[in-house]
Amino acid sequence: MLTTSAAHGVKYICADTTCATRFYDMNKSPIACPKCGKTVPAPAKKPAARRGRRVETSLNN
C-alpha cells in the first residue's frame, strides 16, 4: 500500500503568512488550506523544453 508521503500529494505552505499552515494537497485541485480555506495557486509547470536537456544529444558524443 501507499505508505510514503506521495500518497498525500505535494507539500504546500499556506500563502497566508498569518496562517502558514503546512499541508499536503492530497492530489486534489484546487488546492486549499485546510485551516483557513485559502486557495493555493497551483505551481506553474515550467516549460523545461526551452532549456534543451542534453540527455538526448549526449548519446551522439
Q: Summarize as ranges the residues that interact with Zn ion (CB under 5 A).
A: 14, 16, 19, 21, 33, 35-36, 38
CB of 27 to Zn ion, least distance (A): 19
CB of 49 to Zn ion, least distance (A): 34
Helical residues (DSSP H) of 1-61, grouped into ranges = none
Residue number, 14 or 31, with CB nearest to Zn ion: 14
CB of 22 to Zn ion, least distance (A): 10
CB atoms within 10 A of CB 42: 12
Provide the β-strand partners of residue 40.
31
Contact in structure between 22 and 8 (CB atoms under 8 Å):
no
